[in-house]
Structure 1
Amino acid sequence: MKLTQKIFLASALSLGALIAMKINPTPVVNPRLVMLPDSTSDLFADGTVPVLVSDQFGFTEGPSPDKKGNVYFTDQNNDKIWMYGLDGKLTVWMDSSRRANGTYFDKKGNLITAAELRNEIISISPDKKITTLVKDIGGKFMNGPNDVFVTEKGDMYFSDPYFQRSFWKHRGAPGMQLDGQKVYLVRKGTSEAIPVITDMRVPNGVVGTPDGKYLYVADYGGRKTFKYTIEKDGTLSNKTQFADLGSDGMTLDNKGNVYLTGRGVTVYNKDGKRIAQIPVPTQQNVTNVCFAGKNRDILFITTPKSVFTMQMKVKGIE
């Protein structure tokens, strides 16, 4: 089958799936996004496309799976955290989420959350009790914690870019109080945020390998993604450009492939070679992605107004 035929078939299948679900079809796939037919067979079956779950949101972000495979994701504009269950149902898990953005579950089942209402990192327990983990840096408001990753041993990394928010009422005049946009380390059992990346324009997506050896961080402003070695004390070394593409949120699969977001989902193998481009049937950029489901083989994709799922052959590592 020719590449152009594959693109047409993928678009037709996506539209048919939406009609079968009795959901108004969203715009067709951006024609500039093409799958790479020589490299996708190990990731997903030929003809598989993202399927719309719902388009009722204000601005979705921060999807994370719990131990069972349910996905929790944020709708920052409406100040909510939603859950997409194993049964395929959507429910509001938390109202008044402190304008939650990026999230990550720790080993105890707490949802570690970048909360932008007052520029904090918080922990939300399974019974929805909120504990503030990091409230400021040296007495100054953080820019706006955006994405967060927790290692197996309990250390935490988070990005702190500056995006002015209309709901900020506590900061006074607009602008950063800190001297830059950085990535921070918070060691297990502490509340001190230690800067470990200070040379990015606008750091955003953060994710690490399950063996605790490497951290991937996207420079959203610099339009590049970098790979770092995680040292025993949590500091970073051996900065290496991984992809000539920035990202909002990102994730990894069990083959070591890295999933970057923007115009669709772009997949790179562990060596930094682009191996797949997943078009998403919306005119909006993809904001984040994770693996969901009982077997962690469902790719869960967030965009500002909509969320999608896609059946995969690989599995996620969260």
Structure 2
Amino acid sequence: MVTAEWFATVATPDPGVFGTSLEGAAFDSHGHFYFVDTTAQKPKPKLMSLDLGTRKVSGLYSDPNSMLNCIGFGPDGTMYLCDLENGVNGGGRVVRYDPATGEIADVLTSVGGSAFVPDDMTIDTSGDMYVADYQGTPTSPTGRIVVRGADGSAVPVLTGLSHPNGIVLTPDQTAVWIDEDLSGTLDHVAHQLSSPASSTTTVTLHTASYLSLGANAYTDSLTVDGRGNIYMAVYGAGEVLEFDPSGIQIGRVVIPGDVPNVTHVAIEPGTRRAFVTASGPGGGYIYTFPALAPAPAGAPNGG
């Protein structure tokens, strides 16, 4: 077990049922660190950056309605964010952030004519975006994994999920890891043969771990390092679980103090310095711990 260290206090308490809810810890390919405050009320910023040298927070974007809760970077450096609640038809949307104007613009608001609830994303080097559609229950598994191609098309590639939350590509980009927070599973999704006799690959989900997290704890976002180890934030339990590339749990990182709502890990490119977004009654915080292996240099990490 490893105990994380406090790095910075970055948000004051937010009102409402969920209180402060930091999300989306992410590094761009140049090593700049970003995060979001999903529940922030205007004029508080919802998208922020943190200078790791000075520990100074800069507000980048705010509005009265959105619930931004993840960050992803395209191969050209464009920043994308998931917005849980501000889309059309009662659903959410994926947006693009323009640093020159400080504004966001819609990228994806529905899939196949139906609303969706984008909770997290991961983007490959060709620009294809894999989005966790945060819907469904164990008895009515309507959650999906949606792929928005670099050409703008969007299709569900996997259905029948129960609140898919975190999603991240493996380092070789041949598969994705996802977790389902209502069923408490870590799942590996890849194109595989459906049987030994088959000659056609299909998108297949294989559950690697069934997790016992406690009554008020849920799987949250996922991150990988350069060796393929997986880092799962656990909302409500104040911890990060570490898994090897096969999905076997090998470690645990504890966030000290009254900071139970741990949401995302990001590893600074080219280093083992991992940073965690976490929230509690006192506000929002960034914690740090040594990752099991470095993140690739010159590539985004987290989100």
Work out which of the residue numbers 253, 258, 263 in structure 2 matches 1:278: 253
Residue 215 of structure 1 contacts residue 230 of structure 1 at CA under 8 Å; is this kept in 2? no
Pairing 1:250–2:242 present: no
- Residues 181-260 of structure 1 mapped to structure 2, 5 A cutoff: 181-190=143-152, 192-230=153-191, 237-245=203-211, 247-260=219-232
- Residues 120-199 of structure 1 mapped to structure 2, 5 A cutoff: 120-127=93-100, 128-142=102-116, 144-162=117-135, 180-190=142-152, 192-199=153-160
Which sections of structure 2, spanning at least 5 residues, go unmatched?
Answer: 13-19, 193-200, 212-217
Which sections of structure 1, spanning at least 5 residues, go unmatched?
Answer: 1-34, 36-46, 164-178
The AA in structure 1 aligned to 2:105 is T
**Distance (whole Å) between structure 1 residues aligned to residue 263 and residue 292 of structure 2:** 22
Work out which of the residue numbers 32, 56, 60 in structure 2 matches 1:93: 60
1:16 corresponds to which residue? none
Say which structure is richer in helix: 1
**Distance (whole Å) between structure 1 residues aligned to residue 56 and residue 10 of structure 2:** 14
Work out which of the residue numbers 106, 121, 126 in structure 1 matches 2:74: 106
1:23 corresponds to which residue? none
The AA in structure 1 aligned to 2:30 is K
Work out which of the residue numbers 259, 267, 277 in structure 2 matches 1:302: 277
**Distance (whole Å) between structure 2 residues aligned to residue 313 and residue 205 of structure 1:** 19
2:242 corresponds to which residue? 267
The 10-residue stretch of structure 1 (147-156 or 111-120) with the greater mean CA deviation from structure 2: 111-120
Q: For 2:39, what is the secondary structure of its paired residue?
A: helix
The AA in structure 2 aligned to 1:310 is F
Alignment coverage as a number of residue pairs: 253
- Over 3 Å counting, the alpha-carbon distance change for 1:122 and 1:236 in structure 2 is farther
Residue 185 of structure 1 contacts residue 193 of structure 1 at CA under 8 Å; is this kept in 2? yes
Say which structure is richer in strand: 2
- Over 3 Å counting, the alpha-carbon distance change for 1:83 and 1:148 in structure 2 is same
Which whole-Å deviations, capped at 9, do the CAs of 1:251-305 have from their partners, x for residues lacking one? Answer: 001121001111301101112221111111143131111112x634221111233
- Over 3 Å counting, the alpha-carbon distance change for 1:129 and 1:95 in structure 2 is closer
Question: CA offset at residue 99 of structure 1?
Answer: 2.4
The 10-residue stretch of structure 1 (102-111 or 242-251) with the greater mean CA deviation from structure 2: 242-251
Which whole-Å deviations, capped at 9, do the CAs of 1:196-218 have from their partners, x for residues lacking one? Answer: 22121111100002322110011
The AA in structure 1 aligned to 2:62 is D
Q: For 1:276, what is the secondary structure of its paired residue?
A: strand
The Cα RMSD (Å) is 2.5
Question: CA offset at residue 313 of structure 1?
Answer: 5.8
Q: TM-score, normalising length from structure 2?
A: 0.76
- Over 3 Å counting, the alpha-carbon distance change for 1:256 and 1:56 in structure 2 is same
Residue 147 of structure 2 contacts residue 155 of structure 2 at CA under 8 Å; is this kept in 1? yes
**Distance (whole Å) between structure 1 residues aligned to residue 166 and residue 39 of structure 2:** 19
Which whole-Å deviations, capped at 9, do the CAs of 1:106-126 have from their partners, x for residues lacking one? Answer: 111111111122211111133
Q: TM-score, normalising length from structure 1?
A: 0.72
Pairing 1:82–2:61 present: no
Question: CA offset at residue 236 of structure 1?
Answer: 6.0
Residue 61 of structure 2 contacts residue 103 of structure 2 at CA under 8 Å; is this kept in 1? no
**Distance (whole Å) between structure 2 residues aligned to residue 286 and residue 91 of structure 1:** 21
- Over 3 Å counting, the alpha-carbon distance change for 1:229 and 1:291 in structure 2 is same
The AA in structure 1 aligned to 2:71 is T
Aligned-pair identity in percent equals: 22
The structure with more radius of gyration: 1
Question: CA offset at residue 63 of structure 1?
Answer: 1.4
Q: For 2:58, what is the secondary structure of its paired residue?
A: strand
Pairing 1:70–2:32 present: yes
**Distance (whole Å) between structure 2 residues aligned to residue 124 and residue 273 of structure 1:** 36
- Over 3 Å counting, the alpha-carbon distance change for 1:155 and 1:236 in structure 2 is farther
1:289 corresponds to which residue? 265
